[in-house]
Amino acid sequence: MATLPRVVELGRDPKSSEVIEEIVKMEKKIFPKHESLARFFIDELRKKNSGLMYMDVGGEVIGYVMYSWPSSLYASITKLAVNENHRRQGHGEALLRAAIEKCRGRKIQRICLHVDPSRGSAVSLYQKLGFQKDKLVECYYSENRHAYRMFLDFD
């Protein structure tokens, strides 16, 4: 019987270090160096105001979303990725929805994120879930690599 995909919140249990290793591998594969959080994952996750959820399909980690809430005013989606061979099956949307719900639960008014305009799939996904483009931030990632700042306000 096929195992149903499930969104899991990264815990502090021993299995979490294996999961982080998998995610770091994916991060290096999917993102260019200047956009990759691979080197900072563990430090980032030690912070009390950040969280990570991943998509588990039969014990395999196939995607992840990372978020933080730097203040009581807003939260940020800091990463979202799905393995190339598992895309277009609804996993990215499920992860993003789960992260939005987490942030909503923290009674935050706004979620912000930055995304490279050339990442069309991600921009469409963010727009599908209600994010709006705020502005283009020049040289956000590196010289000549800009980012849209996007936001979602809760009512």
Ligand X SMILES: CC(C)(COP(=O)(O)OP(=O)(O)OC[C@H]1O[C@@H](n2cnc3c(N)ncnc32)[C@H](O)[C@@H]1OP(=O)(O)O)[C@@H](O)C(=O)NCCC(=O)NCCS
Q: Report the residue number whose CB is nearest to ligand X.
A: 92
103 contacts ligand X (rule: CB under 6 A): no
Residue 79 is classified by DSSP as E
Q: Is 80 in the site for ligand X (CB under 6 A)?
A: yes
Residue among 89, 21, 82, 87 nearest 54 (CA): 82
Q: Which of 16, 50, 89, 109 binds ligand X (CB under 6 A)?
A: 89
Residue 112 found at the interface with ligand X (CB under 6 A)? no
User: Is residue 128 part of the contact set for ligand X (CB under 6 A)?
Assistant: yes
- Beta carbon of residue 34, minimum distance to ligand X (angstroms, whole number): 13
DSSP 27-52: HHHHS-GGG--GGGHHHHHHSTTEEE
- Nearer to ligand X (CB atom), residue 69 or residue 79: 79
Cα dihedral: 99, 103, 105, 108 (round 10): -160
Report the DSSP pairing between strands 132-142 and 50-57.
unpaired
Burial class (CB in 10 A: 0-12, 13-18, 19+), 12: exposed
Query: Binding to ligand X (CB under 6 A): which residues in 10-49?
Result: 30
Segment interacting with ligand X, rule: CB under 6 A, options 10-18, 40-48, 118-126, 131-139: 118-126
Question: 63 or 69: whose CB is closer to ligand X?
Answer: 63
- Smallest Cα–Cα separation from 77: which of 152, 130, 2? 152
User: Residues in the site for ligand X, rule: CB under 6 A?
Assistant: 30, 79-82, 87-93, 115, 119-122, 124-125, 128
